[in-house]
Amino acid sequence: MRSSRTKGVPVLALATDLGFLFRTEHERLMRAMRRLVGSPNTAEDLVQDVFVGLLRGSAFADAENKQAYLARCATNMALDHLRRERARARYLCGSDLSDCEVACTAPLPDETLQGVQELALLRRTVDQLPPKCRVVFLLSRDHGLTMREIAARLGLSEKTVEKHIARAMTQCRQALRAAGRPL
């Protein structure tokens, strides 16, 4: 029979902490899960599973930052789900995915997640660039302007525009490498 204490923390206190976090973090977790897994119903199931798992486990009681612990558990739950979906897709489509029909032509969920994470990393990196460098880079990448058009618009030499773009690209590559992404 289960005791009324979990590693020295009364179950009632643990449930109260979880209840508070459920009320304050549920919507945020739902939004994050929907972005990760793409389905509101699956997201709801996963969020509930996270809270049930925390209530059953003992590590939550020892966590210093319960919100961060909750977010990490939710992310892990989503990644596990995406891995299972990928395995299911491989099983249904064949081991090498070469005989897949239309359903398998889209990126797999974990590939989409990796792309979203890389994009967020690159956005943070671009946001940290010096202002002029960031403007030049965004005009080049977001607006598709040529170096000549950027130079004319900003009153810079083409060589300066080229240097700004090179600097931004170097920063982006370094950020991806530091995150362990292959280039």
Other beta carbons within 10 Å of 151: 18
Residues 87, 125: one domain?
A: no
- CATH number of the domain enclosing 145: 1.10.10.10
Could you list the residue range(s) of the whole structural domain that residue 72 is in? 5-93
Report residue 152 as tokens.
């004319």
What's the pLDDT band for 70 if we cut at 50, 70, 90? confident
Distance separating alpha carbons of residues 19 and 159, to the nearest angstrom: 59
Distance separating alpha carbons of residues 15 and 55, to the nearest angstrom: 7
Residues 121, 78: one domain?
A: no
List C-alpha distances in Å: 43 to 10, 35, 39, 52: 30, 9, 6, 14
How many domains does the chain divide into?
2
Distance separating alpha carbons of residues 86 and 66, to the nearest angstrom: 30
What's the pLDDT band for 106 if we cut at 50, 70, 90? low
- For residue 98, being part of any structural domain is answered with no
Residues 21, 85: one domain?
A: yes
- Mean confidence (pLDDT) of the chain: 79
Q: What angle do CA 176, 74, 93 make, to 5 degrees?
A: 75
Q: What is the pTM of this model?
A: 0.43
Identify the pLDDT of residue 138. Answer: 92
Best CA proximity match to 181, nearest among 130, 136, 125, 139? 125
Identify the pLDDT of residue 175. Answer: 92
Under 8 Å between Cβ of 160 and 121: no
H or E segment at 5? strand 5-6
Identify the pLDDT of residue 60. Answer: 67
Other beta carbons within 10 Å of 87: 11
Report residue 12 as tokens.
């009632």
pLDDT(43) > 70 = yes
The last residue of one of the domains, among 65, 93, 121, is 93
More confident residue, 120 or 111: 120
Distance separating alpha carbons of residues 11 and 19, to the nearest angstrom: 12
Report residue 32 as tokens.
């994050």
